[in-house]
Amino acid sequence: MIEEDFYATLKLKSGEEIFAKVAASEEEGRTMLLVSNPIIIKEIRSKTDSIVGYKIEPWLKTTTEDMFIIKLDDILTMSESSDIEIIMLYQEFVRTGDNKGNKNCSSKIDRKMGYISSVRDAKEILEKIYKRSNKESK
pLDDT digits (tens, 9 = 90+) for 41-67: 888 877 776 767 788 999 998 988 999
Q: How confident is the model at residue 1 (pLDDT cuts 50, 70, 90)?
A: low
- pLDDT value at position 104? 47
Choosing among 2.30.30.100, 2.160.10.10, 3.40.50.12780, 3.30.390.50, the CATH entry for 6-107 is 2.30.30.100
Domain boundaries, the chain: 6-107
Mean residue pLDDT of the chain comes to 82
Phi and psi angles of residue 76, each rounded to the nearest 5 degrees, phi first: -80, -50
- The torsion region of residue 86 among left (phi > 0), alpha (psi -120 to 50) and beta comes to alpha
How many CB atoms lie under 10 A from the CB of residue 74? 13
Q: Is 75 exposed, middle or buried (0-12, 13-18, 19+ CB in 10 A)?
A: middle
Q: What is the mean pLDDT of residues 78-104?
A: 79
